[in-house]
A and B are shown apart, each in its own frame.
Chain A
Amino acid sequence: MVEYGHFKENLSAKTLLTCELKLAFRPLDLMSKWQRCGLTADFVSQFETIGQSHIRTKNVLSTIMNELLENAVKFSCDKTQFVDIHITADDTKIRIEVTNNADKQDTDTLKSFLKLFFSKDFDVDTFFMKQVEKGENVGYGEGSQLGFYTMTHNYQGHLSARIEKTEMANVYKVTIAIELEKESAHDHQN
């Protein structure tokens, strides 16, 4: 098992959760009707922010949920195995965690990216420019990790990840989590 970005199972055990939600989807069902990703993202966002008038919060949460879910669906190596979503929130933070199974090649690509992302030399603006230019030159933008850019750079989401072996050869359990300070999710003005 390997972890990145101080991965933790949940929000702090010391605080009382104000919201917890678990969902599971078969990637196949989301791929056949892609709009289900956006629909799920909007639902999660509405569920967490119900009763609040913060339009920004709804927009940010939906964006992050959608990026994590699209990513998990695309990189699930077995489209019939469930993608799990776990959302927890307390008074100050919201944590969105998405788990899927991935093959060795995609897992290695993700590991390389995460290693770079958490290195001291990582420059987010240079990364953005490089990734979109790469997308243009090769005519292929999938797996460009731009979703990580938007989640962490635009919304100050704290990224962490856990990658575990499974019982199947060359299949890994990949969990990506984004944690947001509620202030940045609700009233982010930067």
Chain B
Amino acid sequence: MIIKTDDYRIECIDPTRAVIIGSLRLPTPSAYEPHFKPIKEKIEKLRDPYTINITKVSFLNSSGITAFARLIFFAKEHNVPIIIEASETIPWQEKTITSLGKLWSKVSIQFS
């Protein structure tokens, strides 16, 4: 499944991997739910690690950070390890993703 708007794109075609691209600045954490739902659907069918690539996400607002944290809690609930592929060159990712990684021991972050 691909969710595409003028500002961002969420690709969930691969059963073990999602790619998010663009600028995500939705008004509330709840507003992210329908967009992250395909990712959750993939996670709940898995036993193996699930990868989320955000290397091309230029902006994620604080509502998005909360929504992303919910994704991690969801994976934790289903005991599916999460691999986050992030970019060191995008300021928000460097520290925020590191903080999100502390939410669960089975979250690993790969910076490029």
Write the residues of chain A forming the contact surface with B, with a CB cutoff of 8 angstroms.
31, 34-35, 37-38, 55-56, 59-60, 62-63, 66-67, 70, 74, 125, 128-129, 131-133, 135-136, 139-142, 144, 146-147, 149-150, 153-155, 188, 190
Contact = CB atoms under 8 A, between A and B. Distances in A.
Interface of B: 7, 23, 25-30, 58-59, 61-63, 65-67, 69-70, 73, 89-92, 94-96, 99-100, 102-103
B65 to A, nearest CB: 6
A154 B28 contact: no
Contacts, number: 91
B69 A59 contact: no
Contacts of A136: 69-70, 73
Q: Which 5 A-B pairs have the closest CB atoms?
A: A141-B66, A141-B29, A146-B62, A132-B69, A147-B62
Given A66-B61, A67-B61, A147-B61, A59 B26 contact: no
23 contacts: A38-B7, A38-B25, A56-B91, A59-B91, A63-B59, A66-B61, A125-B102, A129-B103, A132-B69, A132-B103, A135-B69, A135-B70, A136-B73, A140-B29, A141-B28, A141-B66, A142-B29, A144-B66, A147-B61, A150-B62, A150-B96, A153-B95, A154-B94
Given A38-B59, A59-B58, A125-B99, A132 B65 contact: yes
A59 B92 contact: yes
Contacts of A133: 69, 103
Given A141-B28, A144-B66, 6 more contacts: A35-B25, A59-B92, A125-B102, A132-B66, A150-B96, A154-B96
A131 B25 CA distance: 19
A70 B94 contact: no
A146 B69 CA distance: 12
B62 A144 contact: yes
Contacts of A141: 28-30, 62-63, 66-67
Contact of B59 (A62, A131, A144): A62
A67 B62 CA distance: 7
